[in-house]
Amino acid sequence: MIKTSKRVQQSQVTYLTILNQYKGIALITFTAIVTVSSITAYSVAPPPGYTAQGTLIANTPPVKFSTIGGAILKQGEKLSPDVLLADNVVKAVADAAKIEPQQVRKNTMIKVSEPEKPLEIVVEYRTGDREQALTTIDVLMKAIIEKSRLINLDKWQLINQSINQRLEQVNGELKQAEKNLDEFYAGDDRERVRLEEQVKLQQEIYEKTQAALSDAKAAEKEISSSLVVDRSPKIIAYPGSNPIVFIILGMGLLVGLVVSIGLIPLVAIWKQKVAREKQERDRLQTILYRLIQEGSGEISLMKFAMETQLSAEDAQKYLNRQADAFNATCEVKEEGSISYHFHL
């Protein structure tokens, strides 16, 4: 019992000695692990402050009276975060919320669903003030909806302008065809038939263009945003709302302690092993050189094994390596002894 107690005390003293010797390595290891765990924790957790979130989806009016209006609304669903957070949107939100535009852009995150999935746009805004978070995201979502409406309106104006230009061109072509027919006096029936068909074709084109213009005018009343609010803004994260931070930090501290404390004896053992191996190499080399010197270049396996306290097998392996290194020769004598001849 007394011997066991003494061994425990000796082990404790040895451990404390090693701990004091390698405390620098342990401290660096512990600090590195805790730092990595802290970075990981705050990268997966929501940033400090309040995060407000709202959702926009595709606007699908129950009744559409124009083809163009429906097509414009559908095309308007193809929006990227960069378009939704354009400079004019950011400025409008900043002015309404009375904050800096850089703050709006920095604290806003927009996620658009994959193209093959139904349109869903998640809008988030983060700030240190709860009311400001809700107010800003409400203004932001309204600004995005208005941005979508203006984009659709621009598309309608381009289409309407294009149809009017086309109608003017078609009307001119129809009048020219009618004029050609009125001025035809020759008796060539085939030419008259061709001109009549030309007039008929131009009339059909004119009627289709007129119909397109009517559709465009009807679409003007239907032009709206391609987006509507699906879920109104609400606070989804607040300071301390995510326990994952404390879990990761706690695990980091635990792992840091275990690794740093466990690393101390491992480093000590490794260093001691390296030192012993070097000491043994130096010892064998010193004995080898002395015996070679004493034997004028000749050394027997038996004598080397006796001097070094190595087994015959280990002694022979060592001498073989040295013989290869120094280009020495090995001789097996008649009585069975083995000698090595080194050139001095």
User: In this structure, are 21 and 60 located in the same domain?
Assistant: no
Contacts 24+ apart (CB under 8 A), 332-341: 337/300, 337/301, 337/302, 338/300, 338/301, 338/302, 339/298, 339/299, 339/300, 339/301, 340/298, 340/299, 340/300, 340/301, 341/297, 341/298
Q: What is the pLDDT of residues 262-278, one digit of tens each?
A: 666 677 778 888 889 99
User: In this structure, are 174 and 189 located in the same domain?
Assistant: yes
For the domain that residue 309 is a member of, what is the CATH number? 1.10.10
Phi, psi of 109 (to 5 degrees): -130, 130
* Alpha-helical regions (H) of 234-308: 244-294, 301-308
Whole-angstrom distance, CA of residue 66 vs CA of residue 201: 25
For residue 299, the cross-strand partners are: 340
Q: What is the pLDDT of residues 311-330, one digit of tens each?
A: 989 999 999 999 999 999 99
User: In this structure, are 198 and 337 located in the same domain?
Assistant: no
> HSE-up of 83 (CA within 13 Å, CB side)?
15
| CA distance readout (Å), 186 to 180, 189, 190, 191, 201 | 12, 8, 10, 9, 22
For residue 231, the cross-strand partners are: 55
Is residue 169 assigned to a domain? Answer: yes
Whole-angstrom distance, CA of residue 111 vs CA of residue 48: 20
User: In this structure, are 104 and 136 located in the same domain?
Assistant: yes
For the domain that residue 57 is a member of, what is the CATH number? 3.30.1890
Phi, psi of 240 (to 5 degrees): 80, 10
Is residue 266 assigned to a domain? Answer: no
CB atoms within 10 A of CB 100: 11
Is residue 207 assigned to a domain? Answer: yes
Write the CB contacts of 283 (distance below 8 Å, at least 6 apart in sequence).
308
At residue 283, the pLDDT reads 92
Residue-level pLDDT, tens digit, the chain, 344 residues:
454 555 545 555 555 666 666 667 767 777 877 787 777 766 666 556 788 999 999 887 765 656 777 777 777 777 788 888 889 899 989 998 888 999 999 989 999 988 888 889 999 998 888 888 899 999 999 999 998 888 888 888 888 888 888 888 988 888 888 888 777 766 677 887 888 888 899 889 888 888 888 887 877 777 788 888 989 988 887 655 556 666 766 777 777 777 666 666 677 778 888 889 999 999 999 999 999 999 898 999 999 999 999 998 999 999 999 999 999 999 888 788 899 999 87
**Can you give the residue range of the structural domain that contains 303?**
295-341
At residue 224, the pLDDT reads 80
Identity of residue 253: L
